[in-house]
Structure 1
Amino acid sequence: MQKRHIDNCPICSTQEEAVTEQILSVIQKKSYAKNAVIFEPEENTHGLFLVIKGSVKISKISANGKEIVLGLLGPGKTFGESSLLGQDRQEDSATASEATDLLYIPKGSFQTIIQQNPQLYQSVVASLVRWMSNLNQIIENINTPSARDRVWSYLCRLKNDQPHPLIQLDGKKHEVALMLGLRPETFSRILSDLEAEGKIKMNHRQIQFLES
């Protein structure tokens, strides 16, 4: 069962079978209830996490006490890569947005496997680069004055990331709104406007693009 899940892991799936077997020997499954805290800022870093069911919200609190959502991660997404590259303390918070199952590889165990298999290091770095690229997109969106442009840019990114007829929002609408720096009611209104204009069709968290 765990082998099936790590086959979808962007870090583990490209490795040789011998490396995969080493990873499977140390992997642990963890389950979290809705709104359960996985880790908080200033905690010792834990290791690598892979979402296999549910979703995880990565966030931080700004200087003025406002929550900033940095990412909404669904099945197949990883987090905690920076701990494998030497970060000792958590900088962000991770919370289960719903009942969530994770696969977890302790930092010490994973670092030992990396030392024995240096090619794995490149996969960790590549995953961290993807995360930083995602953060840059979020920052760029927040700095876009037009709320409508923020939403449309976000939807277009999802369309590129999810090559399917129906795309799926990263999380619940109010969480996505926070990630875009918008009020939930503003986000919902813009989605309704885009649907009324014939650009998209909504079905809860699923969206179909009606124009190329």
Structure 2
Amino acid sequence: MERLRRTEIFSVWSDEDLSHLFKGARVLEMSVGQILFLEGDAATAFYFLLDGQVKLVTSAADGHEKIVDILQGGDLFAEAVAFLGYRYPVQAIAAMPSRVLEIPLTIFLVTLQQHQELMLQMLGRLSLRLRHLIMELRHLTVESADQRVVGYLLELCPSGNSPVSLLLPAKKAMIAARLGLTPETFSRVLKRLREEHLITVEKLKIYIHRPSALRQWAKEDR
């Protein structure tokens, strides 16, 4: 309950409302590759990832799987389906052994209807999500492979220009799919960044020497 309160939309919920929300909630244990819900399934719940990793995927026009997002422990997801026709727009699959808290949508909606301020906050969150998706579309259709990889690495960095040591949150092949790239292209970009002495790579660990230099490199014509 305290972990859920740390999320943006539940930070202002009262103990009473949160306790009511937990009625009917349950923890699901998921194995690697297990499907939580399919694209187009009727939505009856939303989820909070307690630990592990879940990928949200959809089918591309060529029939291949397109990773929409890679979720980590502490992420809330599928709450927007309450406003999207009660159908899941993507498929959720466990990328590693995971524990997920399943919360019924009915109780969530009743609480929102009773508290206008909570409803407004939820709509604000959906607006931010839409803005994020529009930015993602721009990244995938306008930016080069170099810019996508650099942009992703910089998103993982804290603010400032100090050297940063990062641990990639997922396997490189999964991140490549998330960026709309092949694993080979993703690896080639990382290799070029190493050769330019902008980063050091040790398996999933990446050391960024100067974030500003990395940002400038992506802007240059090569």
Provide TM-score, normalisation by structure 2. Answer: 0.83
How do 1:146-161 residues align onto structure 2 when only pairs under 5 Å count?
146-159=144-157
User: For 1:69, what is the secondary structure of its paired residue?
Assistant: strand
Q: Secondary structure at the match of 1:129?
A: helix
Question: Could you tell me how far 1:63 is from its partner in structure 2?
Answer: 2.3
Identify the match of residue 63 of structure 2 among 65, 68, 71. Answer: 65
Alignment map for 1:5-154 (pairs within 5 Å): 5-154=3-152
Measured in 2, the distance between the counterparts of 1:176 and 1:54 equals: 16
Q: Whole-Å Cα distance in 1 between the matches of residues 106 and 129 of structure 2? A: 22
CA RMSD of aligned residues (A): 2.4
Deviation of 1:26 after TM superposition, in Å, equals: 3.9
Tell me the equivalent position of 1:211: 210
> Unaligned regions of 5+ residues in structure 1, if any?
none
Structure 2 unpaired stretches of 5+? 212-222
Q: Percent identity?
A: 24
TM-score with structure 1 length normalisation?
0.86
Which amino acid letter does the alignment assign opposite residue 153 of structure 1?
G
Separation in 2 of the partners of 1:76 and 1:165? 23
Work out the number of aligned pairs and report it.
209
Give SS of 2:170's match.
coil
Deviation per residue, 1:141-184 (Å, 9 max, x gap): 211352111111121222259xx944443422111111111111
Looking at structure 1, the residues matched to 165 and 128 of structure 2 have their Cα atoms a distance apart, in angstroms, of 23
Q: 1:155 to 1:25 in 2, by over 3 A?
A: same
Cα distance between partner residues in 2 of 1:51 and 1:204: 25
For 1:72 and 1:127, locate their aligned partners in 2 and report how far apart those are by CA, in whole Å. 19
Runs of 4+ aligned structure 1 residues displaced above 6 Å come to none
Cα distance in 2 for residues equivalent to 1:125 and 1:29: 27
**Aligned residue number for residue 179 of structure 1:** 178
